[in-house]
């Protein structure tokens, strides 16, 4: 079954993937002239992103059943990955090394997107499908947290749903950025770049707290609280899969 907190965490992790300070400033490179060429192109990119992550969730869900992975070990591993990434963002010398390691990402993103016509819906869909792979080194801990949720219980439908929601979270930010005014997005991007150190610290603290919350059972506590206040119909809907 899939609980409401798991769906919420998957969407949050996906959103953080795109809001990651390593990724967000690169959105103009990815979006390029897609909006000018075809107003629906960003939606096609978002659909491609959701589809690629849903396919990954399907494969991981099936693998989780086949391998018989131990749920609690996977849950702890996912939390530790988040904590480790938060520490990397907060410790200056680790952050510098990580930034150097990630420097080629902009080139890869530009190269990958240049192979397709972002102005066509098919090309935009393909670009969206590739973005998760391009960004995965930088956003791996967020993706790992979602994969952990899938692998703890396995199941093809469960995996497809959770990773699809993860992709939806990432696509939400991507599409919002695409349709935001150029001046408005430019100001936000400029502020992020100008305040990169503080943004990385804030992002690192958020990811670190999320990892600690999962490690200490905060997600289970949240699930219990939501079950107490949610209408029975909502509970039945979120536990049907």
pLDDT at res. 184:
74
Nearest residue to 210 via CA among 152, 160, 146, 164: 146
Letter string b/e over residues 32-56, b meaning 16 or more CB atoms within 10 A of that residue's CB? bebbeebeebbbbbbbbbbbbbbbb
pLDDT at res. 168:
94
CB 105 within 8 A of CB 25: no
Give the global pTM: 0.77
Nearest residue to 88 via CA among 215, 195, 208: 208
Rounded CA-CA distance 149/163 in Å is 9
DSSP labels for the chain?
---HHHHHHHHHHHHHHHHSTTTGGGHHHHHTTHHHH-TTHHHHHHHHHHHHHHHHHHHHHHHHHHHT--HHHHHHHHHHHHHHHHHHHHSHHHHHHHHHHHTTHHHHHHHHHHTS-TTSHHHHHHHHHHHHHHHHHHHHHHHHHHHHHHHHH--HHHHHHHHHHHHHHHHHHHHHHHHS-HHHHHHHHHHHHHTHHHHHHHHHHHHHHHHHHHHTTHHHHHHHHHHHHS-HHHHHHHT--
| pLDDT tens series, the chain, 241 aa | 666 777 887 888 888 888 887 778 777 767 766 666 677 888 998 999 999 888 888 887 777 665 665 556 667 777 787 888 888 888 888 877 877 776 666 566 566 666 777 667 888 888 888 777 666 666 667 777 777 766 666 677 878 888 899 999 999 988 888 887 677 777 888 888 888 888 888 888 888 888 888 788 776 676 666 666 655 655 565 555 5
Rounded CA-CA distance 77/142 in Å is 12
């Amino acid at each position: 079954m899939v609980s409401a907190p798991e769906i919420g965490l998957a969407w949050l992790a996906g959103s953080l993937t795109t809001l990651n300070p390593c990724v967000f400033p690169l959105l103009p490179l990815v979006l390029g002239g897609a909006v000018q060429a075809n107003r629906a192109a960003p939606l096609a990119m978002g659909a491609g992103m959701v589809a690629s992550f849903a396919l990954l969730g399907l494969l991981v869900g099936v693998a989780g059943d086949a391998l018989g992975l131990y749920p609690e070990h996977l849950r702890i591993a996912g939390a530790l990955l988040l904590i480790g990434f938060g520490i990397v963002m907060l410790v200056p010398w680790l952050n510098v090394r990580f930034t150097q390691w990630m420097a080629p990402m902009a080139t890869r993103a530009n190269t990958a997107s240049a192979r397709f016509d972002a102005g066509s819906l098919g090309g935009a869909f393909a670009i969206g499908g590739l973005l998760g792979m391009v960004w995965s080194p930088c956003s791996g801990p967020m993706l790992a947290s979602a994969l952990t949720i899938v692998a703890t219980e396995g199941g093809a439908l469960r995996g497809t749903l959770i990773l699809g929601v993860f992709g939806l979270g990432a696509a939400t930010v991507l599409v919002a950025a695409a349709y935001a005014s150029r001046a408005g997005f430019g100001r936000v991007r400029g502020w992020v770049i100008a305040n990169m150190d503080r943004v990385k610290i804030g992002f690192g603290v958020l990811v670190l707290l999320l990892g600690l919350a999962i490690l200490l059972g905060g997600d289970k506590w949240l699930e219990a609280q939501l079950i107490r206040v949610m209408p029975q119909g909502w509970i039945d809907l979120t536990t049907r899969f």
